[in-house]
Amino acid sequence: MRKIVLATKNTGKIAEFERLLSQFTPDIKVLGLSDFPDMPEVVEIGKTLNENARLKAKAICEFTKLPALADDSGLFIDALGGQPGVYSARWAGYEGVDSKMRDLANINKALEELKDVPKGSRGAQFRSVVAFCRQNLDSSFLEKEELGVLSGQILTQPIGSAGFGYDPIFSPDQFDQSLAQLPPRVKDEVSHRGIALRAIAPFLRDHL
């Protein structure tokens, strides 16, 4: 079975990628960074989602000697001038390792920043760049990236227990539920990450 390393230890994200990839490439086993405990942490120094995604994919590919897939996603809130954007994962400044605590801190910060913004002015977009990297026999690298965008609104309070990140406070356009309320298959169909993955899946099928 072909293997690909996903640039995350987040079990929710690994499960999401596995569901999405299985629709196009059922013979691919998705590994996470937990399978490579000696892998040094990749510092995300990029100023854009594209830069961070490519940086992570190449670093993991070089270390594991396997094809790697990385994504960098961000929530861009209109009323906040596009914040938190590329800094979405660490916006609230949480420095611990508990992803649920980090997510809660970020959600609370978003709600506080928007407490005086009325419902009709709470537009936002989730954006995800998915980057692939594979080392060729001549030591060069094959790289590819795709962008996915999901538009919606920021809710006034968290709703739903599924998903991760800002999912409980983001309601996609055409839905009256948050991403955290949607069944996994529905979320896969509409999510920014799903859009980007479906765009890159044919390339993965042909180049792994």
Going by C-alpha positions, the residue among 4, 5, 16 that lies closest to residue 128 is 16
Give just the sign of the alpha carbon dihedral 39, 195, 128, 110: negative
Q: Are 88 and 73 in contact (CB under 8 A)?
A: yes
* Whole-number Å distance between alpha carbons of 41 and 60: 9
Which residue is catalytic, options 71, 72, 167, 188? 72
Helices (H), the chain: 11-22, 49-64, 99-113, 184-190, 192-207
Half-sphere exposure of 145 (CA within 13 A, CB side): 19
Active-site annotation holds for 138: no
Most distant pair of Cα atoms in the chain: their distance: 57
Q: Are 163 and 179 in contact (CB under 8 A)?
A: yes
Going by C-alpha positions, the residue among 9, 87, 84 that lies closest to residue 44 is 87
Q: Are 8 and 53 in contact (CB under 8 A)?
A: no
Question: Any idea which residues carry the catalytic annotation?
Answer: 72
